[in-house]
């Protein structure tokens, strides 16, 4: 099993079958690999690309920029006047993300809010078609509560690492020190699965991805 979510032979097959990136995105993948930067996995990237083709978003809010890989990937699915706001608290990642965004010529489209997203999400205004959560997992509910009013009806909340190495579904995989994260993730999954204003699916690819469509305000 890979990270206790899927069988290795399935992940290997998906990896050789799904298309690779090129250019700057490929360079960023290699950088991430060499420097252990946690970016979205290949099968998750492809799944999100397909979703974004269907959603046709004009605006995305992202929690967790790292070096800007997913932001730049998403930017290919937005119109030229689209906007992405993304949150990052690590200074080194922030600086590398800025450089990558500049290299890609996407400074007008992608804005990074540097600092702890706990404070910065409260400063966000405007409306969004997609919210992508890929930062500290314990805070997903807080980010949801803060950002749900800014999500357009018909918009989509996507959360990564939602099954967290399989620990969310299996107590035996869960070391004691991870208890709080796992409890919070379980409560969050239960919350979005039964929320009357959401239609939710949980997909066991990568480290687990949830997709919730907002049905009404």
Ligand X SMILES: C[S@@+](CC[C@H](N)C(=O)[O-])C[C@H]1O[C@@H](n2cnc3c(N)ncnc32)[C@H](O)[C@@H]1O
With respect to ligand X, which residue has the nearer C-beta, 177 or 194? 177
> Of 66 and 209, which CB lies nearer to ligand X in the complex structure?
66
Structure-derived torsion over alpha carbons of residues 155, 161, 164, 166, reported in degrees to the nearest 10:
80
Which residues here bind ligand X, judged by CB under 6 A?
Answer: 38-40, 64, 66, 69-70, 87-90, 93, 116-118, 134-136
Q: Which is nearer to ligand X, 14 or 32 (CB)?
A: 32
SS3 54: helix
CB of 189 to ligand X, least distance (A): 18
Residue 154 neighbours by CB under 8 Å, 6+ apart = 129, 213, 214
48: part of which helix (H) or strand (E)?
Answer: helix 42-55
Nearest residue to ligand X on Cβ basis: 64
In whole angstroms, the minimum distance from the beta carbon of 146 to ligand X comes to 12
In the complex with ligand X, which residue's Cβ is closer, 101 or 151?
A: 101
CB 57 within 8 A of CB 78: yes
Measured from the CB of residue 194, what is the shortest distance to ligand X in angstroms? 26
Least distance (Å) between residue 178 CB and ligand X:
16
Residues 55, 129: Cα–Cα separation, whole Å = 8
């Amino acid at each position: 099993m890979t990270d206790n979510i899927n069988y290795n032979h399935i992940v290997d097959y998906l990896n050789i079958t799904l298309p690779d990136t090129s250019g700057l995105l490929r360079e960023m993948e290699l950088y991430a690999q060499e420097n252990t930067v946690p970016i979205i996995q290949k099968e998750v990237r492809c799944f999100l690309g397909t979703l974004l083709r269907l959603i046709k978003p004009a605006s995305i809010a992202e929690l967790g920029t790292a070096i800007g890989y997913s932001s730049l990937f998403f930017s290919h699915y937005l119109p030229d006047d689209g906007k992405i706001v993304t949150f990052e608290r690590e200074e080194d990642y922030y600086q590398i993300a800025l450089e990558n965004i500049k290299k890609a010529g996407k400074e007008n489209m992608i804005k990074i809010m540097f600092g702890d997203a706990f404070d910065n999400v409260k400063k966000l205004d405007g409306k969004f078609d997609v919210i992508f959560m890929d930062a500290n997992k314990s805070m997903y509910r807080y980010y949801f509560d803060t950002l749900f009013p800014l999500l357009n009806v018909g918009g989509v909340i996507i959360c990564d690492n939602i099954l967290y190495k399989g620990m969310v579904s299996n107590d035996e995989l869960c070391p004691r020190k991870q208890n709080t994260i796992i409890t919070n993730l379980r409560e969050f999954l239960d919350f979005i699965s039964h929320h009357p204003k959401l239609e939710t699916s949980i997909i066991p690819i990568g480290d687990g991805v949830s997709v919730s469509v907002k049905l009404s305000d």
